[in-house]
């Protein structure tokens, strides 16, 4: 096919999902100041969500957003709009089925208004895409990057719409499922958890008052996050295969089983939205930067969602990449140069390792069904009530709200 057009950019972002769109917004000052030419390529057509007013869908997936992420969004100028659909987390309640130990962490104890916020993903996407549309960047959507080849100073990308792009820095923010990473020879380490997360919105009979619940059961953890109104986002972990029966249940039977598994600490479950299943693995790319290439978001690391860390970690990656690019520009280094990408790696290394180890460790600790360990865990949770700093650390990190 004859290329539709041939474009040269400083940075090409493959994927305009939460991470790629955040990166586009974080590059705003450099794009608006004509310091960088940036292209974003997104395969999926944007949802017809431009109509006003926006109605939060009862089925929407939502994410727990840490205070640090809110501050990053504020620095991108998008927090005020994000906050319109955000539900504050005022208390975190951690418990274990069959054990008495419960630990609670309240925002008031820490002198803060909220421990974090829960925001529908679709709303975050809409706000980020709205900001992107104001920027003078090349937006290829819907268009899929079909091939990527290294060239002298960067990569050449072939798009499904027939155009070709040459980019000094290519950022892989494609969620990790497009096969591009593998075609570049980047291997990933994958360890399946043999678990599937069943996600749904549920409505509870009484106001949740901003309580987020994390409950550990022998079959895996259950998280319940507050949304605006009386809705909550359910993340219910199942042993692989066990979720199929629950997906097929009538709403009434599903709600009864959820009530049985979760108890009545959140009130009565009255309504459930569409259920979605996500098989869970820990996937980490063995390489996240090389000259001309950076890997971000799920393409770099897919974590167990119950710890609510994935996007928060990814957003810190976005901010670190932009900081490394800005430092590079001050030093007259190209965004795709090895100096900039080494700087990016140095900034990311410890944070990424710590979060991956923490969320994986949490799942393993609470997933082991050994009697002695169960006692230790219960004692741990009770003990956490006694030892403030440790308890705060666990509860905040377990909800992905630590940074
Ligand atoms: C059930 C669940 C619950 C979660 N809850 C939380 C939470 O509470 N808090 C939190 O911090 N994190 C959470 N996460 C993690 C969070 O959802 C991910 O970190 C985040 O979605 C990753 O975004 P991404 O942009 O990297 O990938 P994606 O969202 O997968 O986006 C990738 C984009 O790239 C596009 N694309 C793919 N291939 C191509 C191509 N070849 N060319 C062009 N475009 C392409 C896709 O269309 C897509 O839009 C959760 C994850 C799951 C599964």
* Residue to mutate (ligand 1; options 13, 23, 39, 43; most atoms within 8 A of CB): 43
**Is 1 a domain residue?**
no
Ligand 1, residue 302: give the atom nearest the CA: 19
SS3 content of the chain, % helix, strand, coil (to 5): 40, 30, 30
- Indicate whether 142 and 162 sit together in one domain: yes
The protein residue with its alpha carbon nearest to ligand 1, atom 51, reads 305
**Is 26 a domain residue?**
yes
Instruction: Determine the distance separating the centroid of ligand 1 and the alpha carbon of 382, expressed in angstroms.
Output: 35
Instruction: Determine the distance separating the centroid of ligand 1 and the alpha carbon of 175, expressed in angstroms.
Output: 5
* Residue to mutate (ligand 1; options 311, 351, 398, 399; most atoms within 8 A of CB): 311
So what's the pLDDT on residue 388?
52
Instruction: Determine the distance separating the centroid of ligand 1 and the alpha carbon of 62, expressed in angstroms.
Output: 12
- Indicate whether 19 and 168 sit together in one domain: yes
How many alpha carbons fall within 13 Å on the CB side of residue 69?
29
Per-residue pLDDT of the chain in tens (403 residues, 90 and over written 9): 444 567 899 999 999 999 999 999 999 999 999 899 999 999 998 765 555 666 666 767 899 998 889 999 999 999 999 999 999 999 988 887 766 667 788 888 878 889 899 999 999 999 999 999 999 999 999 999 999 999 999 999 999 999 999 999 999 999 998 999 999 999 999 988 888 999 999 999 999 999 999 887 777 788 899 999 999 999 998 999 999 999 999 999 999 999 999 989 899 999 999 999 999 889 999 999 999 999 999 999 998 776 678 899 999 999 999 999 999 999 999 999 999 999 999 999 888 888 888 777 766 665 554 444 444 444 444 444 434 555 566 656 655 556 6
Say whether the peptide bond before residue 34 is cis (omega within 30 degrees of 0). Answer: no
So what's the pLDDT on residue 403?
62
Instruction: Determine the distance separating the centroid of ligand 1 and the alpha carbon of 298, expressed in angstroms.
Output: 6
Instruction: Determine the distance separating the centroid of ligand 1 and the alpha carbon of 16, expressed in angstroms.
Output: 10
- Indicate whether 114 and 196 sit together in one domain: yes
- Indicate whether 106 and 250 sit together in one domain: yes
- Indicate whether 303 and 272 sit together in one domain: no
Task: Write out residues with Cβ below 6 Å of ligand 1.
Answer: 14-20, 41-44, 63-64, 144-145, 173-175, 178, 180, 197, 199, 235, 278, 297-298, 305, 308-312, 314, 400
Instruction: Determine the distance separating the centroid of ligand 1 and the alpha carbon of 191, expressed in angstroms.
Output: 18
Give me 235's structure tokens. 């993340």
**Is 275 a domain residue?**
yes
- Indicate whether 277 and 377 sit together in one domain: yes
- Give me the torsion for CA of 157, 163, 167, 170, rounded to 10°: -50
The protein residue with its alpha carbon nearest to ligand 1, atom 39, reads 174
CATH of the domain at 307: 3.50.50.60
Q: Which of 261, 378, 315 is nearest to 116 (CA)?
A: 315
Ligand 1, residue 15: give the atom nearest the CA: 34
- Indicate whether 98 and 139 sit together in one domain: no
- Indicate whether 14 and 42 sit together in one domain: yes
Q: Which of 239, 243, 242, 237 is nearest to 224 (CA)?
A: 237
| Tokens 């965004």 sit on residue | 335
**Is 53 a domain residue?**
no
- Indicate whether 40 and 67 sit together in one domain: no
Confidence (pTM): 0.90
**Is 54 a domain residue?**
no
- Indicate whether 43 and 129 sit together in one domain: yes
CB 231 within 8 A of CB 314: no
Q: Are strands 289-290 and 38-41 parallel, antiparallel or unpaired?
A: unpaired
- Indicate whether 16 and 131 sit together in one domain: yes
3-state SS, residue 250: coil
CB 59 within 8 A of CB 122: no
- Indicate whether 264 and 289 sit together in one domain: no
- DSSP letter string, 152-210: TTEEEEEETTS-EEEEEEEEE-STT-SSHHHHTT--EEEEEEEEEEEEEEEEESS--TT
Instruction: Determine the distance separating the centroid of ligand 1 and the alpha carbon of 121, expressed in angstroms.
Output: 10
* Residue to mutate (ligand 1; options 175, 177, 181, 399; most atoms within 8 A of CB): 175
Task: Give the total number of structural domains in the chain.
Answer: 2
3-state SS, residue 219: coil
The protein residue with its alpha carbon nearest to ligand 1, atom 29, reads 17
**Is 34 a domain residue?**
yes
Instruction: Determine the distance separating the centroid of ligand 1 and the alpha carbon of 19, expressed in angstroms.
Output: 7
**Is 185 a domain residue?**
yes
* Residue to mutate (ligand 1; options 44, 145, 174, 309; most atoms within 8 A of CB): 174
Instruction: Determine the distance separating the centroid of ligand 1 and the alpha carbon of 276, expressed in angstroms.
Output: 15
CATH of the domain at 264: 3.30.9.10
CA dist 188 to 17, 130, 133, 172, 320, Å? Answer: 21, 33, 33, 14, 22
The protein residue with its alpha carbon nearest to ligand 1, atom 11, reads 311
Please give the residue range of the domain that contains residue 141. 7-48+124-189+282-361
**Is 258 a domain residue?**
yes
CB 302 within 8 A of CB 356: no
């Amino acid at each position: 096919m004859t290329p539709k057009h041939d474009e040269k950019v400083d940075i090409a972002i493959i994927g305009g999902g939460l991470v790629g769109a955040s990166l586009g917004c974080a590059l705003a000052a450099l794009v608006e100041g004509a310091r960088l030419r940036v292209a974003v390529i997104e395969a999926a057509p944007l949802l017809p969500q431009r109509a006003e007013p926006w109605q939060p869908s009862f089925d929407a997936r939502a994410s727990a957003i840490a205070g640090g992420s809110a501050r990053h969004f504020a620095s991108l100028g998008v927090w005020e709009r994000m906050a319109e659909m955000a539900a504050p987390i005022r208390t975190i309640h951690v418990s274990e089925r069959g054990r008495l130990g419960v630990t609670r962490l309240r925002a008031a104890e820490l002198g803060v208004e909220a421990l974090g916020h829960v925001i529908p993903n679709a709303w975050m996407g809409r706000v980020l895409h709205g900001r992107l549309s104001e920027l003078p960047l090349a937006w290829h959507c819907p268009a899929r990057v079909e091939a990527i080849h290294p060239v002298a100073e960067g990569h050449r990308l072939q798009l499904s719409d027939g155009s070709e792009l040459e980019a000094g820095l290519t950022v892989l923010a494609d969620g990790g499922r497009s096969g591009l990473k593998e075609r570049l020879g980047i291997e990933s380490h994958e360890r399946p958890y043999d678990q599937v997360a069943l996600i749904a919105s549920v409505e509870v009979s009484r106001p949740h008052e901003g309580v987020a619940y994390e409950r550990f059961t022998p079959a895996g953890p259950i998280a319940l996050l507050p949304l605006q109104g009386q809705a909550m986002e359910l993340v219910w972990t199942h042993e692989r295969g066990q979720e199929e029966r629950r997906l097929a249940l009538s709403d009434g039977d599903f709600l009864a089983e959820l009530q049985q598994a979760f108890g009545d600490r959140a009130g009565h479950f009255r309504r459930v939205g569409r259920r979605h299943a996500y098989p869970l693995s820990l996937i980490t790319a063995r390489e996240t930067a090389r000259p001309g290439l950076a890997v971000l978001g799920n393409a770099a690391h897919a974590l167990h969602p119950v710890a609510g860390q994935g996007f928060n970690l990814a957003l810190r990656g976005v901010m670190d990449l932009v900081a490394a690019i800005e430092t590079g520009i001050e030093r007259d280094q190209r965004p795709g140069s090895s100096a900039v990408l080494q700087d990016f790696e140095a900034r990311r290394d410890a944070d990424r390792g710590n979060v991956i180890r923490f969320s994986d460790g949490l799942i393993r600790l609470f997933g082991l069904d050994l009697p002695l360990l169960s006692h230790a865990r219960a004692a741990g949770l009770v003990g956490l009530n006694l030892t403030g700093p440790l308890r705060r650390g666990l509860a905040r990190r377990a909800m992905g709200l630590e940074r």
